[in-house]
Structure 1
């Protein structure tokens, strides 16, 4: 499970600030009418956690208010689990700047923390049941928001899976159809991916997985098997190919697996379990930012 003391912001590329700039531009494209009302008086706002969850998204939150000339003082570490109502941070700055950044920062923090909270529960399930493989998210992320969502998975304590189309070659049914066979698709992918990019093949049967492994795939994804069938197929593949000297092929379970059903898929023969539900339909964590009235 992820440590609360890690400095996760060191993972982020320098250009992440441009994402924040775009968010602010989207939310205030012209006049800030409400800001005109409140003016420039220096104030302090308190960030309240109003639902239980894991705090995630601090670097993005900080950047929102940095770009607006404000300062954030955090009271909890990134990755901390909390119970409501919890004072999470203080934000200092001109009143209109605090309110300009409020909704942008809260929207990001609520979703990032929601994903991290689900990821943390999955990591705890893995730990409680002694599963030694990886629990992973997927590439089913929100366009323009992937960096935040993948970051949330890390904070929550699970694997991010592939970050994008360039970081792993995943051959699905449409790729295979275009080439006529799994073997041809793998060979063509390897001709451009070289030795450093892994190839994963989505398989609907053991026979397809056998063909993928024989063609040189690094990972076979058993897709949409029920839990019992998944375990049986994974064990059969591992045993069969180990006897032939293939000891490093990874088996991934995917397709319709949820937080409620993942325990049924835990097996020493399954190396990775991936879930789209880490990002799809995940509940947000409720936060609010309240400007504290001067005494």
Structure 2
């Protein structure tokens, strides 16, 4: 078991079929005129990657194809890296011609965006490894509504942590929660009364005093938000030293202003987690295309 490759598809929730139906309903709300033109004769198409990046999104592509009665034979698995030198056939798609073409744009869009996130995530993970950072690099919940599963999956394939996937999987008490409640302590205590022992509580803080209050209140994760790297390292080291003998165990998370070109400044032993939305917001895409192979179906 230890040597088997990870099946990232097992990460996905059972709502995948519903997601695919929503995507196809958006793209094919009624009649497909182009589908009438090409008809339903069997087709073979090559799915090509044309730029550098990390492949991610195969389960989503397969689900779209399966919904339309098509299938793909993949030459590569999620996580494969391409150097962008020439066009590479990553899969051979078969099915009725009109169905293959109905699936085309949705498959390409999902692969392009998921692979773009995986590529950005791989770059962050590689930087952390090169720097000897022993903590975790993570994404955020600043994802596209309706597309979170794809974006979180891309992070996973790229080698970073997905962080919390939704409001139910972990508590994050941000500034608005604190202001609306009155204090960090009150917010944490109120939250713990319903979250119990099984749900972690994270608190967003902007100063040493706020972070110390959150630790004393029993928070599990302390986010040091929008600190400059020099101040971040000093505050993090002070917190770890001051609470070294405390019974309360906590993690320190750095967030805000972290990008690939700045992340080196956030690496330090006192920081356990570095989270950033820049590995899934505004990232580039990997270029894919689908080409029907003339006469291929008849030759088989």
TM-score (norm 2): 0.95
Three-state SS of the structure 2 residue aligned to 1:115 is helix
Deviates more, 1:144-153 or 1:82-91: 82-91
Offset at 1:4? 9.6
Q: Is the 8 A contact 1:115 1:149 kept in 2?
A: yes
Deviation per CA, 1:54-97, whole angstroms, max 9, x where unpaired?
00000000011101111100011111001232111110011111
Structure 2: how far apart are the matches of 1:244 and 1:83? 49
Structure 2: how far apart are the matches of 1:20 and 1:5? 26
Deviation per CA, 1:165-223, whole angstroms, max 9, x where unpaired?
01111011110001111110111111111101111000000000000000110010000
Structure 2: how far apart are the matches of 1:4 and 1:244? 40
Equivalent pairs, count: 292
Partner of 1:242: 244
Partner of 2:22: 22
Partner of 1:45: 45
Partner of 2:12: 12
Asked whether 1:57 is paired with 2:57, we answer yes
Asked whether 1:145 is paired with 2:183, we answer no
Three-state SS of the structure 2 residue aligned to 1:190 is helix
Partner of 2:290: 289
* Residue of 113, 116, 123 corresponding to 1:114: 116
- Provide structure 2 residue ranges, at least 5 long, that are not aligned to the other structure: none
Structure 1: how far apart are the matches of 2:247 and 2:197? 20
Partner of 2:35: 35
Structure 1: how far apart are the matches of 2:290 and 2:246? 60
Partner of 2:210: 208
Partner of 1:70: 70
Offset at 1:10? 1.4
Partner of 1:86: 88
Moved over 4 A (4+): none
Name the Cα RMSD after superposition: 1.2
Partner of 1:233: 235
Three-state SS of the structure 1 residue aligned to 2:18 is helix
Offset at 1:131? 0.5
- Provide structure 1 residue ranges, at least 5 long, that are not aligned to the other structure: none
Offset at 1:243? 3.2
